[in-house]
Amino acid sequence: MDARVGDRVVVEGAKVGQGRRSGQIIEVIVGGQNQHYRVHWDDGHESTFFPGSDAHLERVGNSR
Q: β-strand 46-49 against 8-11: which pairing, if any? A: unpaired
State residue 30's pLDDT score. Answer: 87
Q: What is the CATH number of the domain that holds 41?
A: 2.30.30
Q: What is the number of domains present in the chain? A: 1
Q: What distance in Å separates the CA atoms of residue 13 and residue 54, rounded to the nearest whole number?
A: 8
Q: What is the mean pLDDT of the chain?
A: 86
Q: What is the mean pLDDT of residues 7-12?
A: 92
Q: pLDDT of 40-62, one tens digit each?
A: 999 999 999 998 888 888 887 75
Residue 1 lies in a domain: no
Residue 29 lies in a domain: yes
- pLDDT above 80 for 20: yes
State residue 18's pLDDT score. Answer: 73
Q: What is the mean pLDDT of residues 19-48?
A: 91
Residue 20 lies in a domain: yes
- In Å, what is the CA distance from 45 to each residue of 21, 24, 34? 12, 11, 23
Q: What distance in Å separates the CA atoms of residue 43 and residue 22, rounded to the nearest whole number?
A: 9
Residues 6 or more apart whose CB falls under 8 angstroms from that of 56 comprise 1, 9, 10, 12
